[in-house]
Amino acid sequence: RKGKYDQALTHCRTPVQKDRVYSLMAERYMNQKSYVLAADFYAKTKRSFEEVCLKFIALQQRDALKKYLE
């Protein structure tokens, strides 16, 4: 809630907790329109491949989509 994601990651003990933090980081960057950074964090999550790809396609963010696919 405070946006201290790096600090939160150091306290994660399970993959589910890390996935949640990475998802929140990705959403934060999406809201800030930093799509390539968001792609980096989406790639670390268990989010549906199709869901993430469709987000970037809908926003016409080819660079972010390419980064995610890499």
Mean pLDDT, 10 residues at a time, the chain of 70 residues: 81 93 94 97 96 97 96
Q: How deeply is 21 buried, as exposed, middle or buried, from its count of CB atoms within 10 A (0-12, 13-18, 19+)?
A: buried
Residue 3 has what pLDDT?
A: 74
Please give the model's pTM, rounded to 2 decimal places.
0.86
Distance between CA 57 and CA 40 in Å, rounded?
16
Q: Who contacts 3 (Cβ-Cβ below 8 Å, separation ≥6)?
A: 28
